[in-house]
């Protein structure tokens, strides 16, 4: 498999008042192969959305580089980036705020191809609507006339209009009821198989991620703490944080486990050493002094922990 998207030592910092710095993403390196689905998971504020946006050039990184199909796209001007945009598209969480309420669905779906001067718009729209399971009768209607699940289908259709190689989907199912969520999860899986499009899924829901992704990268306070094959990682997590996240998922088939203590620390004043040591049930003195680097544990897996569970 060839690498489609690669990030090297990517950081995104925001300067705040009083000379403080918010480190949203710190020193992240990752690769997405053609046709592969990578999930970025973690709790609110861990930097997963910022990373997803920085990967496709929505906001320049503070440092580090991003390569798309072998060429460097970080640091390019907006104008120069435009050539790359059709190849990477984004699906957002809240489908009600990503459509212009005053324009018809047909108009909105046609816009990406009009902007990039493509021909055969009507034919392409008809084909994509069929692929996402909607009929052409939707074209003259307005966004508010659809349910959340239908709007998310349209959202996905729009992102696919230009035939991208990469789709970044930020919490594509978290605003949906569980029965509709299952429909969208299945749809995204089918589309990946039929179109071969690579995906970066940003999600906090490990069960959804397990269903949709090939690989998983778990983030905590702006850094990747564990990465690997999604089934292997969720079967036997190597990082205590991954295990805690997994245990905290409420499931009908098991009792409530003892919760992790405390909240996620502020990314403005991250703890010294391992960022997770303040909440880690297995923390040792070394964890508060020395930050663990990502290192290999087993086949295709990495973890940043002094005392991994594997």
Instruction: Evaluate whether 54 touches 17 at the Cβ level (below 8 Å).
Output: no
88, 200, 260, 275: residue in contact with another protein (rule CB under 8 A): 260
Residue 83: CB minimum distance to another protein, A:
37
Which residues from 187-216 bind another protein, rule CB under 8 A? 189-190, 204, 206-208, 210-211
Among residues 121 and 182, whose Cβ is nearest to another protein? 182
Residue 217 to residue 46: CA distance in whole angstroms: 12
Residue 68: CB minimum distance to another protein, A:
29
Which residues from 120-149 bind another protein, rule CB under 8 A? 147-149
Residue 162 to residue 48: CA distance in whole angstroms: 25
Residue 189's CB is within 10 A of a number of other CB atoms, namely: 15
Instruction: Evaluate whether 30 touches 38 at the Cβ level (below 8 Å).
Output: yes
Phi-psi region of 157 (alpha: psi -120 to 50; beta: other; left: phi over 0): alpha
Work out whether 258 is an interface residue with another protein (CB under 8 A): yes
Q: State the DSSP H helix or E strand holding residue 210, giving kind and residue range, or none if neither.
A: helix 206-212
Among residues 19 and 259, whose Cβ is nearest to another protein? 259
Among residues 25 and 264, whose Cβ is nearest to another protein? 264
Work out whether 18 is an interface residue with another protein (CB under 8 A): no
Instruction: Evaluate whether 238 touches 226 at the Cβ level (below 8 Å).
Output: yes
Which residues lie near another protein (CB under 8 A)? Answer: 43-44, 147-149, 177-183, 185-186, 189-190, 204, 206-208, 210-211, 231, 234-235, 244-261, 263-264, 279
């Amino acid at each position: 498999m060839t690498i489609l998207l690669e990030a090297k030592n990517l950081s995104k910092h925001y300067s705040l008042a009083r000379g403080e710095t918010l480190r949203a993403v710190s020193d992240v390196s990752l690769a997405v192969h053609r046709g592969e689905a990578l999930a970025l998971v973690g709790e609110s504020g861990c930097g997963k959305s910022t990373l997803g946006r920085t990967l496709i050039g929505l906001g320049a990184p503070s440092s580090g580089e991003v390569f798309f199909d072998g060429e460097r796209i970080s640091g390019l001007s907006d104008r120069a980036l435009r050539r790359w945009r059709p190849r990477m598209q984004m699906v957002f969480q809240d489908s009600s705020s990503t459509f212009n309420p005053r324009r018809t669905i047909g108009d909105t779906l046609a816009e990406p191809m009009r902007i990039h001067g493509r021909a055969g718009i009507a034919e392409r729209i008809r084909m994509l609507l069929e692929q996402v399971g909607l009929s052409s009768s939707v074209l003259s209607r307005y966004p508010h006339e659809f349910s959340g699940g239908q709007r998310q289908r349209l959202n996905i259709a729009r992102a696919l209009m230009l035939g991208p190689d990469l789709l970044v989907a930020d919490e594509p199912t978290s605003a949906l009821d569980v029965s509709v969520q299952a429909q969208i999860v299945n749809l995204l899986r089918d589309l990946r198989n039929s179109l071969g499009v690579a995906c970066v899924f940003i999600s906090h829901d490990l069960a959804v991620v397990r269903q949709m992704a090939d690989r998983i990268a778990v983030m905590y306070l702006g850094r990747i703490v564990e990465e690997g094959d999604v089934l292997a990682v969720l079967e036997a997590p190597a990082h205590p944080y991954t295990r805690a996240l997994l245990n905290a998922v409420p499931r009908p088939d098991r009792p409530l486990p003892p919760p992790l203590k405390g909240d996620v620390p502020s990314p403005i004043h991250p703890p010294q050493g391992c960022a997770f040591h303040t909440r880690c049930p297995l923390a040792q003195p070394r964890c508060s002094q020395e930050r663990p680097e990502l290192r290999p544990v087993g086949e295709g897996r990495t973890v940043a922990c002094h005392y991994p569970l594997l």
